[in-house]
Structures are given as C-alpha cells and as structure tokens.
Amino acid sequence: MRTLDDRWLAYARRVLEAGALSQCCAQSPRNDAIDRVRRWPGYLGSRYDSGCVLLVGAIHNADRLFTPEILALGDEAKKWVGAPRTPESDRRYLASVRAAYTASARRWALNGNVWKRFDKLLGHLGIEMEQVAFTNLAKCFCPVGHNDTRFVKACLARYPLGALIEDIRPRAVFIAKDAQATNHLEGEIGTKTGALVFRFNNRTGQANGRSFREWVPEAAQEYRSTMGPSAV
C-alpha cells in the first residue's frame, strides 16, 4: 500500500510534468521566475496525518509568491521532473517543498493576502502549518488585480480538486474562493469523501454572508469534533 507521502508525490508529479498546458497555464503571465516552473502542486506538511486539513487558495500570486525559498524549490522541482523518480530524489523534493512553504507562509501572512486568513484559521483550529496540506484551484499564476475565475475554471477541469482529496483524505477542506465556478465543490466533495468543506471569500473572509469572526469558531468546533474527544 502506498504511503501518504507516496500518494502526494504522485499527484505532484502529475501536475508538474503534464505535457500540454491547460488553458489557464497557457494564458498566465510569463517572467523569468515563473518560467522556472509553470505549475505548482502545493504542499504536504510533515505532520499532516495529525491535522488532516487541506487549505485551498484560488491561484498563485505572481507578484508575491517568489520568496528565496520558493525560488529554491523551483530549482529542485525542475531537477525532480527532469529525471526518473528515485527514493532519494523524492525525499529531496518533498523536503524542499516543506522547507519552502513553512518558511514562506510566515512572510505571505504578513502581506495581508489569503495567507493571513489561513494563519488565523490555523490558530482557531489549534494546529500548525506542518499539520496541513495546501494547493490552489489553479496551478499557475494570475497578476494582482486580475479576475482569476477563468483560470480557476480551466484548471479545475484538468486538475480536479477531488483527485487530490482522494489521495490525502482530509477531514476538513477550507476553500478561499466563493465564485460561482466553485459552487459545486462544497456539496460534491463533502458527499463523496465525508470531509467537512468550508468555502469563503478570499478577500473579505465572509462565508454565506457571515463574517470571518462569526463562522470560523463554529467551523473549528466542527473540525475538532471529527478528531475525537481529546481535540475538543
């Protein structure tokens, strides 16, 4: 039986080495940094199995994504997909993913973007970055201020969120995108997997007309109830 790390690595490889670009990837902006890696599968924490939370953003922010650690991860990703998989290359790539995202998430949270909300969300859930997984609905990039919905729709058709969820089996999924293009995800994922699914506006933090401060504590309580008495 494949381990959790094995399943996530197989998913990451599918995203990174797909031959033809999807519509969103073909239309996303290009610059020297982006050209290193055109698609990004996301992150799997080293202690994910103790938290089992999947954080889902909309699309990578081309202007704020590239911390030094993420640039180093891009170099490692190119090496990984440029050669046959081996246990050692898998280990190096996954270690680079974990180091890059745990370091960068702290900086991204300071920018006031969706990572600031994710940071507050983790505080309510009582878990740390190492206990979650992360991906974006679209695997490529969108300039600041552009409507990302068309990119999200195109990428969801090629890289269904449900496929990742089947691989890593989260207990709770938090989706920072409430556009009509994602309306189907809440019921579809919850019905098929049994996971709790919460969808909110990545700018305002609102979910179903309720403020971030209102709905997050209730969501956290629901999540803790799935983790057993010791988590409540």
Q: Residue 63 pLDDT > 70, yes or no?
A: no
Q: How far apart are CA 101 and CA 33, in angstroms?
A: 17
Confidence label for 140 from pLDDT (cuts 50, 70 and 90):
confident
Quick: pLDDT tens for 142-151: 666 667 777 7
pTM for the predicted model, two decimal places = 0.89
Quick: pLDDT tens for 43-52: 999 999 999 9
Domains of the chain, start order: 4-231 (3.40.470)
| The pLDDT of residue 33 | 44
| The pLDDT of residue 42 | 95
Within 10 angstroms of residue 32's Cβ, the number of other Cβ atoms is 7
